[in-house]
Amino acid sequence: MPEKGLNAYPAVVEWLGGFVPNWLAEVLYRVGAGVLICILIATLALVLVWMLRKVIGHMQCRLGPRVTGPFGLLQTAADALKLLQKEDIIPANVDKLLFILAPYVTFFSTGMIFMVLPLSPTWILNDLDVGVLFFVAFGSLASFGLLMGGFSSYNKYSMVGGMRSVAQVVSYEVPMVLALLGAVMLAGSLSTQQIVLQQEGLWLGFIPKWFIFLQPLGFAIYFLCGLAETSQTPFDLPEGESELGAGFNTEYSGMRWGLFFLAEFANAFAISAMATTLFLGGWHGPVFSFLPWLWPFVWFMAKAVALTFCMMWIRSTWLRFRIDQMMDFGWKVLVPLSLLNIFISAGEVAIIRSGIIARLIGG
C-alpha cells in the first residue's frame, strides 16, 4: 500500500527543484499539469466518442463505425482530422470576441475539474483540501461559456439554448451539492483523496466499504444531476435538435464546435469520475503483484468508464424532457429528496460514531 494521501504536487515539485530553481519548478509543474490534462481529455474523447457510437449503434440494432481501422477504432481520429481541416467560419453578425472566447471558457473550466480527480493513491494533480467544492465551482463556470456562445451568436435559437443551459445548471446544482454533502459528511473531509481513503476496507469480509451502500439515494440524485449539469439525454434541452436547431452551438462549426464537443465528453467523464470517487470507492480494488502501482489507476478508470457507459445507455434509450417537466422534477422532487438524504446521512454518521455496528459484527 503506498503512503496514504500522497499528492503528486509537493513530490514532483521537490524532485524538479533538484534541477532548476524553485519558482521554475512550480511553474513547470503547473504547465505540465495543464498539458497532461489536455492529453488526457483528448485521449478520453477519442475513446469515448468511438464507444458512444458503438454502444448506441448496437443498442439500436446497427453496427456503428467499422470501416476505419479495426472495429472502426480510427473513426474518431478521422473525424478530428476532418474538423481540423474545415474552414474556420465566423458568421458576419456574431459578436466576434465573445464568439471566439466561448469554447475556450467552457474547455478551460472542464479542464480545471480534472485537477482534483484522484486517479490513484499517488496520482492527483493537486489534492486541495476543498476538492469537492472546487469541482462544483468550476462545473458551474462551464455553463458561463455556453451562455457566452449562445449570446454572442445573435440568433434566437442559440440564445434560448444558452438560457436553457444556464437555467438547468443553476437549478440542478442545488440538489447536486446537497447530494454530495452526504458523502462528505460520512468522510468528514472535502478533499477528494481523503474521501477515497475513507472508503478503504470491507464490511463482513466481502462488501467493499463504498459510500454507495450507505448513500444509495445520494448516489442516484448525484448521477441524475450530473446528467443535467452536462446536458446529457434526457436533459439535453440546451441543444434540443427538434426545437432549437442545435441550440447554443448552432452557429459554430469546425474546431470551435469541436472544442464544445470535447468539453461535453470530458464533462460527462468527469461527472462519472467524481461519482466513482465519492460513492464507488475511487481507486480501491484488488491489487495484483504484477505492476502494483498501475492497478488503482485501472480500477478508477474502469469504474468511471462503466458509469459513462450507463450515461450512453440512457442516451440511446430515453426521450428528452420538456423544459417545464425538467424544472418541476429538479425543484419539487430532487431538492426535497436530497434534503431527506442529508438527514439520513446525519443518522448514519451518528450510528457509525457510536460504534454500535462495530460491536455487532465485530469489525
Partner 1 sequence: MDGAQTGAYAAFGAMTALVIGGGLGVVFFRNIFYAATSMVLCFLGVAGIYFSLQANFLAVMQVLIYIGAVAIMIVFAIMLTRRSQMVDTNRFVRSLSQLAIALAAVTCIGIILIELAIFAPWQISGKVPAPDITRFLGEAMMSRFAIPFEIAAVLLLVALIGAVMIALEEVRKS
Q: Is the dihedral of CA 313, 316, 318, 319 positive or negative?
A: positive
Residues of this chain, 28-67, that bind partner 1 according to CB under 8 A: none
Minimal distance in Å, beta carbon 151 to partner 1? 6
The residue from 76, 106, 120, 143 that contacts partner 1 (CB under 8 A) is 143
The residue from 137, 314, 346, 349 that contacts partner 1 (CB under 8 A) is 137
Per CB under 8 A, 170 contacts partner 1? yes
Question: Omega into 70 within 30° of 0, i.e. cis?
Answer: no
CB contact set of 97 (below 8 Å; sequence gap of 6+):
152
Residues of this chain, 189-228, that bind partner 1 according to CB under 8 A: 190
Q: Is 26 helix (H, G, I), strand (E, B) or coil?
A: helix
Name the one range near partner 1 by CB under 8 A: 3-11, 162-170, 211-219, 351-359.
Answer: 162-170
Per CB under 8 A, 11 contacts partner 1? no
CB contact set of 310 (below 8 Å; sequence gap of 6+):
223
Cα within 13 Å of Cα(133), Cβ side: 5
Minimal distance in Å, beta carbon 201 to partner 1? 23
Per CB under 8 A, 151 contacts partner 1? yes
Asked whether the beta carbons of 283 and 299 are under 8 A apart, the reply is yes
Per CB under 8 A, 244 contacts partner 1? no
Burial of 21 (0-12, 13-18, 19+ CB in 10 A): exposed
Per CB under 8 A, 97 contacts partner 1? yes
Residues of this chain, 112-131, that bind partner 1 according to CB under 8 A: 128-130
Q: 30, 10, 32, 28: which is closest to 19 by C-alpha?
A: 28
Per CB under 8 A, 323 contacts partner 1? no
Residue appearing with cell numbers 489507476 = 297
Contact residues for partner 1, defined by CB under 8 A: 21-24, 26-27, 95, 97-98, 101, 128-130, 133-134, 136-138, 140-141, 143-144, 147-148, 151, 159, 162-163, 166, 170, 173, 190
